[in-house]
């Protein structure tokens, strides 16, 4: 596949042990986030690019990982809006489908 006349760059990666990828968003060039979930735990991860090794790794975003019932844990990633991610959080007083515009700190 070619995009704008330039061949895409392909990176190798493995999913974190946190389970399946259920949400994906980019907020800029090489600013990529994923929402992973498995057996009652979930959270937000970001891709760390290693250009020398031609690889990327999923790393957890601090404060977003945990049980679905842990206050603040991310329970859904719905996309991005410019530099912000649209997320749902556990134990949200606004409800389980409330959306938040968040700028994660790696």
Residue 27 and residue 82 in contact, taking contact as beta carbons nearer than 8 Å: yes
Q: Give 28-86 pLDDT, tens digit per residue.
A: 888 899 999 888 788 899 999 988 888 899 999 988 888 877 777 888 899 999 889 99
Cα distance between residue 93 and residue 106, in whole Å: 25
Three-state secondary-structure class, residue 83: coil
Three-state secondary-structure class, residue 106: coil
What is the DSSP track for 40-76? TEEEEEEEEEETTTTEEEEEEPTT--EETTSTT-EEE
* pTM, entire model: 0.80
Mean pLDDT calculated for residue range 95-101 = 74
**CA torsion angle 33 64 79 5 (round to 10):** -10
Is the pLDDT reported for residue 2 higher than 60? no
Question: Which residues, 6+ apart, have CB-to-CB distance to 19 below 8 Å?
Answer: 36, 37, 38, 39, 41, 42
Is the pLDDT reported for residue 3 higher than 70? no
Is the pLDDT reported for residue 93 higher than 80? no
Confidence of residue 1 (pLDDT cuts 50, 70, 90): very low
């Amino acid at each position: 596949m070619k995009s704008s006349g330039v061949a895409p760059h392909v990176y190798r990666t493995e999913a974190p042990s946190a389970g399946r990828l259920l949400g994906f968003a980019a907020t800029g060039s090489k600013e990529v986030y994923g929402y992973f979930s498995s057996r009652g735990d979930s959270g937000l991860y970001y891709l760390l690019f290693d250009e020398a090794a031609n690889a990327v790794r999923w790393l957890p975003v601090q404060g977003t990982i945990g049980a679905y019932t842990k206050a603040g844990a991310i329970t859904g990633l719905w996309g991005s809006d410019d530099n912000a991610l649209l997320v749902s959080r556990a134990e949200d007083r606004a409800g389980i489908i409330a959306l938040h515009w968040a700028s994660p700190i790696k």
